[in-house]
Structure 1
Amino acid sequence: MDRTEKHAFVASLASVFADTSLVVVTQPKGLTVAEATDLRRRMRAAGATYKVAKNRLAALALDGTRFEGVKPLLKGPTALAWSKDPVAVAKTVVEFARTNDKFVVLGGALGSQTLDAAGIKALSELPSLETLRAQLVGLIQTPATRIAGVLQAPGGQVARVLAAYAKKDEAEAEAA
């Protein structure tokens, strides 16, 4: 990489860090090409990005962002993962680390708060943004469904009472 490419890379990483909510630092020691490809595919499916970056360039990109707290984690071979949905990237990283011993989650940052590996694991256990939205819509719709049921019940009861009187009148008319 020449100097202009390095400047462009640092600028692009800095702009990414300005738009994202979570950055996870991992250590992919000894991953095969197939395993790395599988991880990247999982990340894309979750709407996340996974990038191996030189620590010095990543540290330069982190300068002035709210994720500066992850700089001490940038030692040895590291890779960064990020997404706008913090739970999605955390779930993907933790799930991959669970199935692959060579892949280690070092920590990360959620906004300006620095998280260790346990914090990333705890974040991964939360429901995703899509699940939370679905639950919220369900909560909003439930009262409306109950209100409609309550409003329909008296009308149904009145209709049953009228039907019973109608049957009673028919029975009396046939008897007479």
Structure 2
Amino acid sequence: MNKESKGNVVSELSELLNSSKATFLADYRGMDVEAVNKLRGELRQVGVDYRVAKNTLLRIAAKGTAAECLESHLQGPTAVAFASDDVAAPAKVLADLAKDSKFFELKGGVMDGKPLSVEDIKALANLPSREVLLGKMLGSINAPATNFVGVLAAVPRSLVQVLAAIQEQKAA
């Protein structure tokens, strides 16, 4: 790799580190091509850019970014997953693979400038997806209005039931 192509890789990695909400590092040593391609496909479906990077180039690219704290994890083969939208979905894919595969091991990550340990990534993986959380929040917001409408409807319903009971009593 010549100096110009290394510079291009560093600038591309730096741009990805700056634009991503979360970055996850993993050791992929021993994985076969089929497993890596399957992982890339799964991560692509959740909107994640997955790359294998040289540690020295990644170290240079991380200088001055929020991912600078990842320098201690840059040893051995390093795969990087850049999550730009939902951070729980890629954490789930990576944590599941790390649990199922003896060749794939999470190293750490960074989210919004804060370093993430392997345990933090596993905790993120256990969170429901963004859509589920939004649905729960909307349900919570909607519940008081629904209950209020039920209370308002109960008053005329009770009046109608009382009138119906009086009518039945007079008819008998």
| TM-score, normalized by the shorter chain, greater than 0.5 | yes
User: How do 1:46-65 residues align onto structure 2 when only pairs under 5 Å count?
Assistant: 46-65=46-65
Return the letter of the residue paired with 1:135.
K
* Match in the other structure for 1:43: 43
- Report the 3-state secondary structure (helix = DSSP H, G, I; strand = E; otherwise coil) of the residue aligned with 1:67: helix
Gaps of 5+ in 2: none
* Match in the other structure for 2:155: 154
- CA shift for structure 1 position 137: 0.7
* Match in the other structure for 2:71: 71
Task: State the identity as a percent.
Answer: 34
Q: Deviations over 1:81-123 (max 9, x none)?
A: 1213222221111011111110000111122222222222122
Whole-Å separation in 1 of the counterparts to 2:27 and 2:145? 49
Return the letter of the residue paired with 2:28.
P
Return the letter of the residue paired with 1:73.
H
- Report the 3-state secondary structure (helix = DSSP H, G, I; strand = E; otherwise coil) of the residue aligned with 1:102: coil
* Match in the other structure for 1:13: 13
- Report the 3-state secondary structure (helix = DSSP H, G, I; strand = E; otherwise coil) of the residue aligned with 1:133: helix
Whole-Å separation in 1 of the counterparts to 2:160 and 2:49? 60
Larger radius of gyration: 1
Q: Is 2:117 the partner of 1:123?
A: no
User: How do 1:161-172 residues align onto structure 2 when only pairs under 5 Å count?
Assistant: 161-169=162-170, 171=171
Whole-Å separation in 2 of the counterparts to 1:147 and 1:120? 41
Gaps of 5+ in 1: none
* Match in the other structure for 1:34: 34
Return the letter of the residue paired with 1:22.
A
Q: Give the superposed CA RMSD.
A: 1.6
Return the letter of the residue paired with 2:55.
N
Q: Deviations over 1:27-83 (max 9, x none)?
A: 001111110011111112222221111111111111110110101211111100121
**TM-score normalized by structure 1?**
0.89
Whole-Å separation in 1 of the counterparts to 2:142 and 2:65? 40
Runs of at least 4 residues off by over 6 Å: none
- CA shift for structure 1 position 19: 1.8
* Match in the other structure for 2:3: 3
Q: Figure out how many residues of one structure are paired with residues of the other and give that number.
A: 171
Does the Cα contact within 8 Å between 1:70 and 1:108 map onto a contact in 2? yes
